[in-house]
């Protein structure tokens, strides 16, 4: 055993030990040594006990050093039985702590402190035990106490700040700032301060901390990137560009810096400038394939909203496709080319998809969903017709197909796809409501009510569902139920444009509550003044109010907004008839009948020449 190791052991043992009692002796005339009338002697038993305790303690310390904490505990316990000193309790607590036996560690640490409350190492261990046991409030109290005794214990500040980071982040920042005043700019402290301020949204303070870090290490690219992100979050785009341009100047091929610069442009809605940065990334062979695909997909999604980005998006995907046989890339390229009207080339890519990924429906679903969400229903239909051949029992593909057809007014075609979707997943709200709507459009109203009620059981306050149910009851001429359901929907959302329009039209058809109908349709018009259906309803309400000039004005607005339909032409014909223009009225009725030959009332008007 080295001299240094022996000394270390003794220093641990002697922490908190009491001093030996001093014995003063005198000599009487007989030559016998006495101490306060007692015979001075050496207590050999006590000395032997202390020596044995020391041996056990040394054995424990040796086992501790070896990492054999279980054996060390046994040795320390033997030492305590012979000589219960606070330093031994402290050593025993540390061994229990290292074995994650926190209750035993806590018990022995508290015993050491009770024997010697002035030793800060004991207090420090107590704080560590509380922290490890997730008793953070208790740990904080202990650490605060240590700092009151010794305000320069740097490690204690660190520990206390980390405890406060989650519960009291502002207090943690204050402690870290205190550490900075003690240590000066310190990397570990400043990085924590920057992180905490960034999480709290205190971007100026976060930026200050990061700039101080850069004074320690001016060329640290990671810190420069963090500073760029902080500026970006604060919308300080000029500052962000300045920092990221400095990075690119020294490392022009850094993809992370290029992506940051691109994000700065995207946040300013400058997708063209961002594309130039992404183009550099795309041409780098060491950039991961998945990262390139993500860039392409991001631009594809944006191109659905901004068609000017389609050429850039196409280039990105063609660059990716040069080194890929990925069917998803072919799928996106097909979609892009189809949107550009290059049908034959798009078809080529779609056929490659079916050959490469007959087994995978995800690509079809994702792409079809994108088309549908962007109201490109014809494109969604075409894509799903391809998909349904390979996945006839897929719920989502049937759902998208049915909804896309319905949105184009192809309700009879939509019906079997939506029925299949409901059969596959009878608890899906979109499938139930979509199928119910289609049933109402093909005059299968009883079934439509049944499925709408199933949907409402899942979402009782769904205004759109209630509005559809009110419309179905109106088609069934169940006026009381229709009015009740419409009113319930408006009680939930009085500004819903579609429900206000439909309720107003239903009332105007019956010629009742026309003032209420006018108020409702005005709400709908205010929400969407270019909606041809709403304009037609407004015209029809005015017609029922016998305000024929206003009626004619709004029906013509409806035709201008949505084109001629059987309904708008018939309404305009009725208005012309009431205004005395019977010949013009008949001409309009005839045009309307050509568009809807099933309308028997319209046929009767033409034959009789009267309303």
The residue ranking higher by pLDDT, 165 or 484, is 484
pLDDT for 261 equals: 95
- Whole-model pTM? 0.50
Q: Is the pLDDT of residue 24 over 50?
A: no
Distance CA 103, CA 118 (A): 22
Residue 35: which residues within 8 A CB-CB, separation 6 or more?
Answer: 23, 24, 25, 26
Question: Highest mean pLDDT: which of 7-16, 165-174, 264-273, 282-291?
Answer: 264-273
pLDDT for 346 equals: 85
* pLDDT one-digit tens code per residue, 289-348: 999 999 999 999 999 889 999 999 999 999 999 888 898 899 899 889 888 888 788 878
For domain 1-13+47-150, give its CATH number from 1.10.3720.10, 1.25.40.10, 3.20.10.10, 1.10.340.70.
Answer: 1.25.40.10
Flag the least confident range among 136-145, 218-227, 556-565.
218-227
DSSP-derived secondary structure letter, 38: E
Distance CA 247, CA 257 (A): 7
Q: Is the pLDDT of residue 515 over 80?
A: yes
Q: Is the pLDDT of residue 26 over 80?
A: no
Query: Residue 530 corresponds to which tokens in the numbers above?
Result: 């270019």
Average pLDDT, the chain: 88
Distance CA 220, CA 232 (A): 19
Q: Is the pLDDT of residue 40 over 60?
A: no
Distance CA 601, CA 598 (A): 9
Strands (E), 77-207: none
pLDDT for 47 equals: 66
Q: Is the pLDDT of residue 12 over 60?
A: no
For the chain, state the CA radius of gyration: 42
Mean pLDDT, range 505-533, rounded to an integer: 96
Whether 427 contacts 451, CB under 8 Å? no
pLDDT for 27 equals: 37
Q: Is the pLDDT of residue 5 over 50?
A: no
Mean pLDDT, range 185-190, rounded to an integer: 77
* pLDDT > 70: percent of the chain: 92
Name the residue ranges covered by the structural domains of the chain: 1-13+47-150
Helix (H), strand (E) at residue 26:
strand 26-27
Q: Is the pLDDT of residue 37 over 80?
A: no
Mean pLDDT, range 92-117, rounded to an integer: 95
pLDDT for 20 equals: 36
């Amino acid at each position: 055993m080295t001299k240094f190791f022996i000394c270390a052991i003794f220093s641990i043992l002697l922490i908190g030990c009491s001093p030996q009692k001093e014995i003063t002796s005198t000599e009487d005339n007989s030559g016998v040594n006495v101490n306060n009338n007692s015979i001075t002697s050496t207590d050999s038993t006590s000395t032997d006990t202390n020596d044995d305790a020391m041996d056990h303690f040394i054995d424990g310390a040796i086992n501790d050093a070896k990492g054999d904490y279980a054996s060390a505990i046994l040795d320390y316990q033997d030492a305590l039985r012979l000589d219960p000193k606070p330093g031994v309790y402290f050593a025993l607590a540390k061994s229990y702590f290292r074995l994650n036996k926190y209750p035993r560690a806590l018990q022995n640490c508290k015993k050491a402190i009770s024997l010697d409350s002035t030793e800060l190492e004991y207090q420090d261990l107590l704080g560590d035990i509380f922290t490890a046991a997730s008793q953070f409030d208790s740990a904080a109290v202990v650490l605060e106490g240590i700092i009151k005794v010794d305000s320069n214990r740097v490690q204690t500040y660190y520990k206390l700040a980390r405890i406060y980071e989650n519960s009291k982040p502002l207090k943690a920042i204050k402690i870290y700032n205190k550490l900075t005043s003690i240590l000066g700019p310190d990397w570990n402290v400043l990085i924590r301060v920057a992180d905490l301020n960034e999480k709290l949204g205190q971007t100026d303070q976060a930026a200050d901390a990061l700039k101080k870090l850069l004074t320690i290490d001016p060329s640290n690219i990671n810190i420069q990137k963090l500073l760029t992100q902080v500026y970006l979050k604060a919308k300080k785009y000029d500052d962000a560009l300045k920092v990221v341009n400095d990075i690119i100047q020294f490392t022009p091929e850094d993809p992370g810096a290029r992506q940051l610069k691109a994000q700065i442009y995207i946040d300013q809605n400058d997708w063209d400038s961002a594309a130039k940065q992404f183009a550099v990334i795309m041409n780098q062979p060491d950039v991961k394939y998945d990262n390139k695909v993500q860039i392409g997909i991001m631009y594809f999604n944006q191109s659905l909203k901004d068609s000017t980005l389609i050429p850039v998006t196409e280039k990105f995907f063609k660059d990716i496709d040069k080194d890929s046989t990925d069917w998803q890339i072919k799928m996106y390229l097909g979609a892009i080319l189809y949107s550009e009207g290059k049908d034959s080339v798009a078809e080529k890519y779609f056929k490659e998809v079916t050959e490469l990924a007959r087994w995978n429906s995800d690509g079809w679903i994702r792409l079809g969903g994108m088309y549908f969400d962007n109201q490109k229903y014809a494109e969604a239909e075409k894509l799903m017709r391809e998909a349904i051949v390979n996945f006839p029992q897929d719920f989502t593909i049937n759902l998208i197909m049915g909804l896309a057809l319905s949105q184009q007014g192809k309700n009879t075609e939509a019906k079997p796809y939506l029925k299949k979707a409901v059969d596959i997943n009878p608890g899906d709200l979109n499938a139930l409501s979509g199928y119910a709507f289609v049933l109402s459009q093909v005059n299968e109203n009883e079934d439509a009510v049944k499925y709408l009620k199933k949907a409402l059981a899942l979402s009782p306050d769904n205004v759109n569902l209630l509005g559809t149910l009110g419309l179905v009851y109106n088609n069934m001429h169940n006026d009381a139920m229709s009015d009740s359901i419409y009113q319930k929907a408006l009680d939930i959302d009085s500004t819903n444009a579609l429900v206000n329009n439909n309720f107003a039209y239903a009332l105007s058809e019956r010629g009742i509550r026309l003032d209420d109908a006018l108020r409702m349709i005005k709400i709908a018009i205010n929400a969407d003044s270019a909606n041809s259906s709403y304009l037609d309803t407004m015209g029809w309400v005015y017609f029922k109010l016998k305000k024929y000039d206003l009626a004619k004005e709004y029906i013509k607005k409806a035709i201008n907004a949505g084109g001629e339909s059987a309904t708008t032409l018939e309404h305009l014909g009725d208005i012309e008839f009431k205004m005395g223009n019977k010949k013009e009225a008949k001409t309009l009725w005839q045009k309307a009948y050509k568009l809807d030959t099933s309308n028997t009332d319209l046929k009767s008007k033409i034959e009789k020449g009267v309303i």
